[in-house]
Structure 1
Amino acid sequence: MVSAFLQRPAARSLNGDTGFQTTLASVFLYFVAAGLGTVMLGPALPLLAERWHLVDAQLGALFLVTFAGEFVGSWVGARRLGVSLLAGAAGTAVGLFILAFAGFGAAHFVLFCIGVGLGAGLTAGNVIVGTLDQVAGEERLEDSSRRSSRSRRLALLNLSWGIGAIACPLWLRSSLVLSHRAVFSFLDGGAGGALFFLGLGAAFLGAAVWIFRSLPRRFYATVSTKEIRERLHWQGIWMFALTFGLYVGVENALAGWLLSYAQRLHPALSAGGASSVAFCFWVCELGGRGVTALVVKRVDERRFYRGCLAAVIAVIGVLVFVPHLRMASIYAVTALAAVGLSPIYPMAVSFLLARTGNHPQVGKVFAGASLGGTILPWLTGVCSTHFADLRVGFAVPGVGAGLILLLARSVQRSSSSQ
């Protein structure tokens, strides 16, 4: 029975509805798991700090190695899309199973390997969904219809990622509750953390099996140069890479450190209670991406993009300049930041793929996202430690959001000129 379940079905054509929907289902399912894995360090920070007795700079180093791995994975992730998606899911699963029992030193290498898997899979998934209309022979669509269709698919894809991100702090809470049961006594004092990472590993393993059985075989081939719409020049690479990197850095710095910020302002909060801040962030980002998918045809995308960035900068300013926030205010700031950020990444990816199509070198651009995710959360922790105030650390994602806004016109002009 197991062998029959794992047997890969015959190749499907993307020219029919079945192949199109099967491909979308495979990538969307992976993105739910990827949402869990990408944000896991934020909710887990208090547990890891207690488990290994770490200060902020050391916790920031965990972000550093994870997103360094994502940089490597993203760099090569667009060459063979199916291989990147499958190997990324399976490799991340193995890494999470090991991380459940690893020490602080070994965790650096394991997190790097997990990052490689996430970077490869996320890059491949974005390119597959963003160029699926071309692969499926839908070039008959008008340019404006294709652009709005791409934006909607990418918004919904990132919405599925948000579902996983929301489930992450919920699973952390469940892990802490389950860890007190006698059946998990063999895990000693670290039962909650071990269960948390084991559950995440199981999610990636399930996604890997689904991809192996369902993704059409044509995606496992190397991208053909015939599918290239335009050569990527270095100016386009750095512009989009910087935008992606700054966005992911801002997002992860806020999502990762807001939980710790709430716990420090309100020490009575438990690790499980503080995780509700992360839950609020990802719920609001999820809702924001759902709204984006609905309104993208009815608004001026360029103004909407820049307006959301301006709102994010204003919200981060509140974190930096207001010395003490009540829990209700922390939830409000978290929600506004998440809603403001929600349209930025899928719209930026849409701008990129409108210009390049399925380009084998587009992974270099997505690698920029991992580079920003490496640096900004780490710098936030370093600034917090140096100034002994996490509010000062939040100036780092504030500057990052400002730089994205400065790049906005160039990114949009590049895509609209095609």
Structure 2
Amino acid sequence: MPATTPHARRVTYRYFLVMLAVGMSGGLLGPALPHLAAMTDSTMGQISVLFTARALGNMLGSLLVGRLVDRFSGHRVLVAMLLLMAAGLAVVPISQGLAMLTGVIFLLGLAEVSANAGTNTLLLWAHGKDSPPWISALHFCFGLGNTLVPLVLVLVLALTDHVAWAFWAVALYALLLLWPLAQLESPRLPASSDDTATMPLPDNWRLGLFLFMFGLYVGTEITFAGWVTAYATLRGMPGEDAAVLATLFWLALSVGRLLAIPLLRRFSPWWVLRGCLTLGLASSLALQWDTMPLAVVSLLFGLAASAIFPTLFGLSNQLMAMNGRTTGMIFLAAGSGAMAVPTLTGPLLEQAGTRSFPLLLMALMGLLALSLFTLRARVRHTGR
């Protein structure tokens, strides 16, 4: 389906709204965690099981959604997942026991990643080779949802003094998307076109490189966002100042995805990825050599990370025939990286000290650059 058709634009704008809902749902757990712990009479150590439950739900959803989108109407799948997400959000504030809450969060994680991966797949099918700028805009909406939902929580607590209404407000927003989405025909994987007739199915090497890069990138993103505050505190920065660093990272990441939209219209994905990785390596070096304040490094690293996932996702659509199963594998790899890489950081900081953190970031960015170089060489060798 060409990117210039009115139908493609209409479905795309609805996908932006869906990703805003997914981002808001995903962003609620962290700020609401103390309230959920008090609600279930759990310690912070016990309540942390919710993150594991969500991650496992994400992994199962990644495997499930690809097969569903390939077999059924994509919009029906999205409607079903939005319904499941709204139901999970509605039940969370009334789940009094930790076991019940853990089960609900597992289903919520499944629904969130299914809506996320399904939306990304359908956007690829709607825009074909022209998808990278649209994908970047889509991921900006996800980040915007993550950014807005703490403000929603603060407002709800100020008005009602009860966290439940924040979950119910996001659930209501998700339900409002069902009718507009159901009214439009779902994009389908092009059976044959100039873009896809000669496009190879994903061979093992090419697909393996993409999966490795997606896992590595998401692991890098979560590692920086999750550990930069602890790193700064260990280096002696006051706790209040250190806590702002992750916020600066996410702010720069969101702004960078907006900036990537015109860049991807003018430059190839290869050049954008090279620029991002170069900036990431440079900011890691600045962190290692103490040549910049930590706040500036956080902003630069967020800017460097901003366009990598959407640009890589759009590039995969240019180099492989992307179906729902392949997209599901990508999100499974991303979820695995999000679990594995940050887990290694804590022991590394404990054993090797704070100097290991910038070295780890440099190693991760270096591996991404090497993988991109290998992918480019393979594409040149095979002619695509």
Under TM normalisation by the shorter chain, which class is it? 0.7 to 0.9
The one of 75, 92, 96 equivalent to 2:89 is: 96
1:250 pairs with 2:201? no
For residue 252 of structure 1, report the CA deviation from its aligned partner.
2.2
1:116 pairs with 2:110? yes
1:369 pairs with 2:334? yes
Counterpart CA distance in 1 for 2:239 and 2:352 is 20
Cα displacement string for residues 39-97 of structure 1 (whole angstroms, at most 9, x for unaligned residues): 44555677778984446x984x6544323322221223233232442233222233333
The one of 203, 211, 214 equivalent to 2:181 is: 214
2:248 is aligned to 280
* 341 and 236 in structure 1: CA distance in 2 versus 1, 3 angstrom threshold: same
Counterpart CA distance in 1 for 2:22 and 2:166 is 13
- One-letter amino acid of the structure 1 residue matched with residue 201 of structure 2: R
The one of 156, 159, 163 equivalent to 2:140 is: 159
* 388 and 415 in structure 1: CA distance in 2 versus 1, 3 angstrom threshold: closer
Alignment length (residue pairs): 368
1:408 is aligned to 372
Residues 218 and 334 in structure 2, CA contact (< 8 A), matched pair in contact too: yes
TM-score, normalising length: structure 1: 0.73
Cα displacement string for residues 276-326 of structure 1 (whole angstroms, at most 9, x for unaligned residues): 54443232112111111112243454243123123224434555776xx9x
Cα displacement string for residues 180-227 of structure 1 (whole angstroms, at most 9, x for unaligned residues): x6x43xxxxxx4xx34xx525532542343144334564398x68769
Cα displacement string for residues 250-290 of structure 1 (whole angstroms, at most 9, x for unaligned residues): 22232234455567755663xxx976544432321121111
* 226 and 17 in structure 1: CA distance in 2 versus 1, 3 angstrom threshold: closer
Counterpart CA distance in 2 for 1:47 and 1:318 is 38
- Over aligned residue pairs, what C-alpha RMSD do you find? 3.9
For residue 353 of structure 1, report the CA deviation from its aligned partner.
0.8
Counterpart CA distance in 1 for 2:287 and 2:154 is 26
Secondary structure at 2:303 match in 1: helix
Aligned ranges for residues 224-373 of structure 1 at < 5 Å? 229-259=199-229, 269=240, 276-299=244-267, 301-316=269-284, 329-362=293-326, 363-373=328-338
- One-letter amino acid of the structure 1 residue matched with residue 152 of structure 2: W
* 83 and 334 in structure 1: CA distance in 2 versus 1, 3 angstrom threshold: farther
Residues 355 and 414 in structure 1, CA contact (< 8 A), matched pair in contact too: no
Counterpart CA distance in 2 for 1:107 and 1:257 is 27
Where do 5+ consecutive residues of structure 2 fail to align?
Answer: none
Residues 169 and 278 in structure 1, CA contact (< 8 A), matched pair in contact too: no
Secondary structure at 2:177 match in 1: helix
For residue 249 of structure 1, report the CA deviation from its aligned partner.
1.9
Counterpart CA distance in 1 for 2:18 and 2:170 is 9
For residue 408 of structure 1, report the CA deviation from its aligned partner.
0.8
* 282 and 297 in structure 1: CA distance in 2 versus 1, 3 angstrom threshold: same
Where do 5+ consecutive residues of structure 1 fail to align?
Answer: 1-12, 135-146, 185-190
1:20 pairs with 2:8? yes
Residues 305 and 347 in structure 1, CA contact (< 8 A), matched pair in contact too: yes
Counterpart CA distance in 1 for 2:24 and 2:266 is 31
Secondary structure at 1:232 match in 2: coil
For residue 152 of structure 1, report the CA deviation from its aligned partner.
1.3
